[in-house]
């Protein structure tokens, strides 16, 4: 079995460490085998392997110009480790939850080569090992069975031509029923397993024998096109002709096959077809749950707007320090049960909110200040000097943990509820929010309609501004002229469709570079070295924002580049690879989903403080000081915060912002609202690096209007 001869092909080897995993699943791993010096194996065939697994690998040797001799793997099979050494590596790697290196050594020392057979067929014997009682024994057996099931799923998926990285997610969603779902109805994976949309589920289905023209397949494709329109473009509906055409293109079938299945979904009450809100002669299709929420939101907003005010306020004293439009906004908020305040940066929105809240509290009323994200709520509290919470916490009736915070016992029942950053409200959150507001309470929405709309479907703030009967005040007087004046000037120019001054005044800077690779390197250098050195701050004070997620200048690639420099791998630093993402102690991370059980919410940031393979957990400490634990199977809920998308930054402000502006992939994300949102995230400085034509494209491209029916429904109900 000589390494030099290349006879290593077909040998059983243990995965010691994952060195690198690319987005396309190309994997670099350090391997060991009996009788062979440790070596490096590479290739996409290694996708999904984990430290501790034993593989039978096939391939040949190659020489990399920088990294030297490597074994290029063309195929591999997962096998049960048989030698004492391989079994010890397997159990000590953390693959089986509850067994760490020390316990693995004790178990293997006791049972030898029969260890895995004992765990599989005589698990009660595990209690023969010191420190293993009945509870620990049961945990080990359950984890062993789960790992075996996932490994079997990986083999099944590889046979279907699907990434084995999805196996753990599928098992997590369906448990022991996973094999049956794959065999009988793979389309159930859509929406239940993150990372599986129609194309992957369809590949599994066709491989499993589902006919190309089957009703099951066509219906799944129709629902997928509607879901994609909502998640990708924020649409609540699609015109029926467009939905039929896109579905037919997706499944490469005639439109005549699609139309009857659309009618069948309507009959099954999974789709709703009705007249377009914008074009009376055209029919549009909604997913049932989206249609129901849009109707419910219109009804709730109408109820709030038409209710008789219960605000305990007979008269109020005007603040002489307010501008005329601010005084008008105060009067409106105190006299209208539903109202909106809009305005750009520096126009005094937060000061106006403080004046309104102070007036209500002085009269004996209760006030709840909220925002869609934790960062936005914290910023609202800092700017107003009053306590604020996320909308999610308000709906869960959970006050913030600080004992000094004086929230009302039932925050959603307050006399005045203020929602800042209302442009971030999507259809689903807005429906839950308005349903919780009692009749007679005042709901005041604060936002900047020129910022990006919500990530989810709908365009709630913009829709409400299209309804003339809803009171609103636009604040236009700009107070903030010093300090960040360059940022404000650039923001207002962009909002008006004009190029910002370049290089710009203090606070705004544009550095022109054409090559995307050079742009990426320059952005990383500015964030890690140049700005921290010049401004005397830590790199954590500098946030990289990216218009795109993919590409050389996308958030994924830039985040990895910065992570490798600021927090590189080290022998004494625990880490765990989750797909193509590695989490290390010291990493800056961000939850991307609200988790009420953990008490963390989308947009918060924190630092990884511990990685424990034996328990298959990662612990983070949020910037608010809370310690939160994530299982390895929950890491889809976390992303690195070294570089994030502009959408992810909504509701947040950072001292320093650096961003690439490059027309990669046609610059499809470069739009005025995105650029405006990006620039207004910075408090002290924003530095844009990239192509002038890309900057011009972003300034002048307005972007599409979302397909929504809320404005029409609300106009009809308010008039009735």
What is the rounded CA–CA span in Å between residue 477 and residue 489?
13
SS in 3 state form for 347-413? Answer: CCHHHHHHHHHHHHHHCCCCEEEEECCHHHHHHHHHHHCCCCEEHHHHHHCCCCCCCCCCCCCCHHH
Cα-based distances in Å from 625 to 325, 380, 381, 474, 607: 39, 19, 17, 37, 10
Burial class (CB in 10 A: 0-12, 13-18, 19+), 367: buried
User: Is 578 marked within a binding site?
Assistant: no
Cβ count near 498 (within 10 Å): 12
Which residues face 654 on adjacent strands? 682
What is the rounded CA–CA span in Å between residue 571 and residue 568?
10
CB 449 within 8 A of CB 470: no
User: Is 100 marked within a binding site?
Assistant: no
According to DSSP, the β-strands at 617-622 and 606-612 are antiparallel
What is the rounded CA–CA span in Å between residue 186 and residue 178?
9
What is the rounded CA–CA span in Å between residue 700 and residue 504?
19
Edge-to-edge strands, sheet with 237-239: 237-239, 283-287, 271-275
CB 203 within 8 A of CB 157: no
CB 110 within 8 A of CB 128: yes
411, HSE (Cβ side, Cα atoms, 13 Å): 25
What is the rounded CA–CA span in Å between residue 259 and residue 256?
6
CB 227 within 8 A of CB 191: yes
* 3-state DSSP assignment of residue 475: strand
Q: Which candidate, 704, 705, 701, 706, places its Cα nearest to that of 670?
A: 701
* 3-state DSSP assignment of residue 320: coil
CB 37 within 8 A of CB 3: yes
What is the rounded CA–CA span in Å between residue 379 and residue 132?
49
User: Is 606 marked within a binding site?
Assistant: no
Q: 517: Cβ–Cβ under 8 A, 6 or more apart, which residues? A: 552
For residue 681, give both structure tokens.
């995230």
Q: 541: Cβ–Cβ under 8 A, 6 or more apart, which residues? A: 532, 535, 654, 655, 656
336, HSE (Cβ side, Cα atoms, 13 Å): 21
Q: Which candidate, 196, 200, 250, places its Cα nearest to that of 222?
A: 250
Angle between helices 215-233 and 240-251 (to 10 degrees): 120
156, HSE (Cβ side, Cα atoms, 13 Å): 21
* 3-state DSSP assignment of residue 250: helix
Edge-to-edge strands, sheet with 442-447: 389-390, 367-371, 416-419, 442-447, 338-343, 472-475
Task: Enumerate the known binding-site residues.
Answer: 346-350
Task: Enumerate the known binding-site residues for ATP.
Answer: 346-350
């Amino acid at each position: 079995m000589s390494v030099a001869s290349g006879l290593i092909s077909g040998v059983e080897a243990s995965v010691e460490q994952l060195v690198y995993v690319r987005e396309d699943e190309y994997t670099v791993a350090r391997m060991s085998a009996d009788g062979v010096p440790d070596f490096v194996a590479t290739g996409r065939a290694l996708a999904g392997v984990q430290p501790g697994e034993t593989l039978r690998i096939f391939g040949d040797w190659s020489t990399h110009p920088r990294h030297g001799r490597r074994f290029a793997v063309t195929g591999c099979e997962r096998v049960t480790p048989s030698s004492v050494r391989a079994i010890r590596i397997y159990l000590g790697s953390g693959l089986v939850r509850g067994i760490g290196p020390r316990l693995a050594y004790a178990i293997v020392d006791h049972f030898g080569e029969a260890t895995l057979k004992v765990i599989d067929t005589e698990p009660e014997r595990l209690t023969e090992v010191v420190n293993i009682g009945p509870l620990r024994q049961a945990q080990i057996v359950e984890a062993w069975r789960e790992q075996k099931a996932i490994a079997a799923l990986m083999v099944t998926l590889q046979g279907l031509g699907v990434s084995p990285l999805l196996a753990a997610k599928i098992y997590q969603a369906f448990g022991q029923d996973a094999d049956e779902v794959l065999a009988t109805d793979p389309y159930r994976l859509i929406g239940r397993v993150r990372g599986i949309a129609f194309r992957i589920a369809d590949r599994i289905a066709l491989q499993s024998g589902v006919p190309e023209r089957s009703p099951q397949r066509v219906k799944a494709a129709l629902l997928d096109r509607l879901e994609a329109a909502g998640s990708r473009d924020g649409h609540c509906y699609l015109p029926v002709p467009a939905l039929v055409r896109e579905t037919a293109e997706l499944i490469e079938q005639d439109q005549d096959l699609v139309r009857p299945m659309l009618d069948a979904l309507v009959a099954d009450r999974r789709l709703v077809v009705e007249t377009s809100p914008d074009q009376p002669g055209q029919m549009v299709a909604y997913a049932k749950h989206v249609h129901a929420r849009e109707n419910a939101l219109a009804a709730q907003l109408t109820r709030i707007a038409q209710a008789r005010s219960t605000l305990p306020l007979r008269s109020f004293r005007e603040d002489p320090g307010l501008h005329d439009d601010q005084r008008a906004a105060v009067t409106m908020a105190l006299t209208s049960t539903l109202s909106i305040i809009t305005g750009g940066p520096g126009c005094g929105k937060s000061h106006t909110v403080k004046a309104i809240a102070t007036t209500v509290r002085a009269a004996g009323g209760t006030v709840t200040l909220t925002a869609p994200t934790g960062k936005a709520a914290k910023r609202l509290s800092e700017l107003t000097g009053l306590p604020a919470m996320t909308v999610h916490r308000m709906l869960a009736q959970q006050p913030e943990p600080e004992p000094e915070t004086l929230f009302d016992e039932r925050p959603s029942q307050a006399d005045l509820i203020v929602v800042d950053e209302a442009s971030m409200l999507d259809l689903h959150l807005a429906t839950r929010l308005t349903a919780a507001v009692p009749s007679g309470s005042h709901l005041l929405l604060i936002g900047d309609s020129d910022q990006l709309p919500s990530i989810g479907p709908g365009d709630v703030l913009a829709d409400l501004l299209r309804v003339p009967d809803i009171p609103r005040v636009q604040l236009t007087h700009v107070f903030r002229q010093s300090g960040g004046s360059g940022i404000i000037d650039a923001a207002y120019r962009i909002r008006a469709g004009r190029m910002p001054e370049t290089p710009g005044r203090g606070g705004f800077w544009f550095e022109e570079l054409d090559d995307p690779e050079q742009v990426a390197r320059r952005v990383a250098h500015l964030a890690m070295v140049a700005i921290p050195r010049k401004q005397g701050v830590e790199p954590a004070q500098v946030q990289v924002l990216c218009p795109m997620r993919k590409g050389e200048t996308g958030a994924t690639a830039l985040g990895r580049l910065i992570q490798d420099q600021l927090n590189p791998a080290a022998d004494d630093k625990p880490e765990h690879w989750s797909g193509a993402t590695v989490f290390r102690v010291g990493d800056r991370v961000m939850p991307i989903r609200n988790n009420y059980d953990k008490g963390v919410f989308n947009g918060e940031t924190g630092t990884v403080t511990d990685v424990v393979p034996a328990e298959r957990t990662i612990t983070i400490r949020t910037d608010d000081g809370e310690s939160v634990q994530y299982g390895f199977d929950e890491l889809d809920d976390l992303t690195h915060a070294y570089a994030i998308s502009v959408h992810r930054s909504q509701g947040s402000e950072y001292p320093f912002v650096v961003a690439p502006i490059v027309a990669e992939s046609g610059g499809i994300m470069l739009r005025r609202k995105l650029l405006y949102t990006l620039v207004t995230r910075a408090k002290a400085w924003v530095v844009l690096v990239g192509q002038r034509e890309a900057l011009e494209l972003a300034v002048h491209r307005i972007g599409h209007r979302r397909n929504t029916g809320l404005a029409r429904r609300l106009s009809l109900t308010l008039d009735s």
